[in-house]
Structure 1
Amino acid sequence: MAKLNLIATAPMGLEAIVARELKELGYTDTQTENGRVNFTGDFLDIARTNLWLRSAGRVLVNMGRFQATTFDDLFEGVKALNWDEWLPANAEFPVNGRSHKSQLTSVPAVQGVVKKAIVEKLKEKHNTEWFPEDGPLYVLEVTLLNDEALLTIDTSGSGLHKRGYRIASTAAPLRETMAAAIVSLSRWTADRPLYDPFCGSGTILIEAAMQAWNIAPGTRRSFDSEAWDNIPGELWEQAREEAFDSVKDDVKLQITGSDIDPHAIDIATQAVRRAGFGKEIKLHVLPVAKIKPEGDYGVIISNPPYGERLGDETEAELALRQLGRASLYYPTWSHFIFSPSLEVEHYMGKIADKKRKLYNGRIQCNLVQFFGPLPPRSK
């Protein structure tokens, strides 16, 4: 079949990480834009990328792009696309919409025109006036930017951050996709210890373990496109078999987390067990002032809590100061602190080697990086 134009959506600041993940999966024709990475593939690639992408938000089918300054332009442009090759007669196809810097500013009106144009297209194929919409779900989106319309179909369903191992969470938890990106940016490898002194619900620890064992993050969940008529079920079976065959669960892990909140550790324990790392990831109820990371040349990766979880900003600042003091006793360790605070260097008592601006939802954060020495090379 002809190659499909696909899109991996990315939180702001993570486009390069998502592009790198795609290239590591073998997709070399990537093109990066704000909030998304474009690539080409086929039906099997829809399954593979949904299963394997760690930092992307969703995988979309790019149905087409065209200029639309009037509703007539929008109607005719949408109707010209090959919806009849994707949507069966009973498809449920809600239309979401966004408009920015475009002449068509009424999103409800834009959604209505898109829906009407698709119905007219489907009438030509199915020779009917009525579409029950009681079949498989195809979530469509029209995005207008600078008078250019982009039409997509969401192949994922729930966002890719929903891995399936977390049934409860602490206040303001870190998304799994962001945690995976932070671990990737740290360049941590399984031959080094990893510690999270503010582990909360354990997301960073689990994402690190999944990367170390080469576990595809989507293997525990389902996707909307698994129910689509035009993607053969055997392709999903093939992609899942490939994922299971790629697991390297013989790699020894040195991953530990702690938190001052016993309830958070209870939640983390449940998530760790559901993810399959009950024996590999160690968890402790412990204030940051008393942490004792084991080993040398380890990596601390953490998203320190703020007033929302600790009660007030004063306690949050104290926790960061205590982490800074504790780091003095572990001079060979590297530290990667993900935080919206502009005072991380001050609290840690040293100048960062590198900072990377990222967005946790709509909150601007920095991944503040303090590099320790690299482990000596084996002779």
Structure 2
Amino acid sequence: MPKAVSTGASSAAESDSSGPERHLQRHLITYHYTMSQQSEFPEYLDVDYTDGEGEDPEDYASIEDKIEKAIEVTREGLEQYENPVVMWTGGKDSTLTLYFVKEVADRFDLEVPPVVFIDHYQHFDELIDFVEHWADEWDLEVIWARNTDVGDYVDEHGLEPGDDIPIDALSEHNRHHVRELLEYEEETFPFLLDTYVGNHLLKTVALNDTLEAHDVDAVLSGVRWDEQEARADETFFSPRHDPDIYPPHDRVQPILQFTEADVWETFWNFVVPDTVKAFPEDGYVPQGQDDLPDGVGKEDVPVSPKYFAGFRSLGSEVSTDKAAEEPAWLQDMANTTERAGRAQDKEDLMERLRDLGYM
């Protein structure tokens, strides 16, 4: 069985400062770290924060070059950091990152870190089933990051996505984020991911509170340069050291150099053959939803069923639509936008969310 840990944002609800000091922090998230913790964080590391600067996927000539770089970054991340986690959404990019983590850990006798799954309460049921199944198969320790203050209110009042949540019903911790950081003045906000307040509370606050609660010093994540303009300037080791914005940590990003097509090529030629014994060792790319080798079903491969159904990106059940009827890896990736089906992914919104600590 997977080892599960649940972390809720409400646990930090009473940690906000008050009085004049709080007003001095009007535009900041205040996390309570000692000066020694702040100064020590970068000092035990020896990583190059400029690695990847000014690069793009074309700087890596072949899929083998991209895989070699991913292994190099992953190994350095697992060896350098004392308390890393892997951000896992159940999507293709984070699952590819998790694959590299597992392979590197096995090859170099390292520990597989816990994985963090942000449960924003609006996931596809199939995605939750996928995560639980493969967490069990791979014997992963899963930390379920949730903003339980919001989630409990939704459950207690039987709310559906789009229903309004009163700001006054939130914990002090969440009200601080909404009023002081986001400067949101309305009396309610909709229970939706494709809104500034909803996305921040359900994802960013849940993530940052989890990193703080578990004293995380590195997050291995599956962001890519070509995925969004907001991520095009990222480096393989990206510092997040400002304690006024997030718990100080680094982002370790092994697959920046992969394009969407590269991700699928790696899945069908490496990830799936290495995972499924009945799959051809030299790889095979299914040409339809049901085109899998004899003896292999969709449930046997670590690819979300939503990708088979035509979704190219997995956001939420409410705000994500399928891009086409054919499987994601067969669609026109060169001339269409990967995340067009996700309502939240406007570039200005993504940039603001990243400034607040989102992926």
Q: TM-score, normalised by structure 1?
A: 0.24
Indicate the structure whose relative CO is greater, using CA pairs within 8 Å and at least 6 residues apart: 2
| Rg larger in structure | 1
- The TM-score with structure 2 as length reference comes to 0.24
